C-alpha cells in the first residue's frame, strides 16, 4: 500500500466511516429498485480506460462504493433509477416519478451534484461535498409522494 493510497483510504474512512471499495448488503432487506440499481452499479466496474472514446478513466471503486452505499442504505420505496457511467469517472442515478425528476451525480472527486425538478416551474441544482443515505431517503420520499 502506498502512502497516497493509505491517505486516500484514511480520507474515505473519515468521510464515510469505511473504505468503500466493496460494500455488502443483505438481500432480504433490499427493495427491488435497490437490487436492480446495485446490479447495474456492479456492471460498471468492468469499464476499461477510454470506455467512452473520450479518454475517460474507469469508474473507481470508491465512486462505485459511494453510489452503492447510498442506494443500499436508502430507506424509501422508489422507482428503479437509470444508472449510467459519466465521462470523467462518475456515476449518475436518475429517478423519474410522474413529472418529478431526481438526478444524483457522483463525480470522480467524490463530490455530489443533485438536481431536483418538480415538473412545474421549479428546479433546484446544487453541488455537495457528500450526500448521505438519510438525505437521499428524504428526497426519494418527496419524489414518490
pLDDT at residue number 130: 82
Does residue 109 carry a pLDDT above 80?
yes
- The full set of domain ranges for the chain reads 3-144
Bridge-based pairing of strands 82-86 and 90-97 is: antiparallel
pLDDT at residue number 29: 81
Does residue 20 carry a pLDDT above 60?
no
Average pLDDT on 43-65 reads 94
Share of the chain above pLDDT 70, in %: 82
* Separation of alpha carbons 61 and 13, rounded Å: 14
Measured between alpha carbons, how far is residue 70 from residues 13, 23, 25, 54, 76 in Å? 15, 11, 12, 28, 11
Amino acid at each position: 500500500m502506498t502512502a497516497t493510497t493509505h491517505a486516500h483510504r484514511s480520507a474515505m474512512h473519515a468521510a464515510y466511516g469505511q473504505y468503500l471499495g466493496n460494500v455488502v448488503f443483505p438481500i432480504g432487506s433490499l427493495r427491488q429498485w435497490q437490487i436492480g440499481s446495485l446490479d447495474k452499479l456492479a456492471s460498471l466496474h468492468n469499464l476499461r480506460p477510454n470506455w467512452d472514446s473520450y479518454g475517460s478513466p474507469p469508474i473507481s471503486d470508491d465512486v462505485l462504493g459511494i453510489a452503492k452505499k447510498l442506494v443500499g442504505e436508502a430507506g424509501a420505496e422508489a422507482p428503479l433509477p437509470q444508472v449510467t457511467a459519466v465521462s470523467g469517472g462518475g456515476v449518475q442515478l436518475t429517478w423519474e416519478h410522474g413529472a418529478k425528476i431526481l438526478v444524483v451525480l457522483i463525480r470522480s472527486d467524490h463530490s455530489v451534484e443533485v438536481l431536483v425538478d418538480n415538473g412545474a416551474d421549479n428546479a433546484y441544482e446544487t453541488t455537495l461535498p457528500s450526500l448521505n443515505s438519510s438525505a437521499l431517503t428524504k428526497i426519494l420520499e418527496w419524489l414518490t409522494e
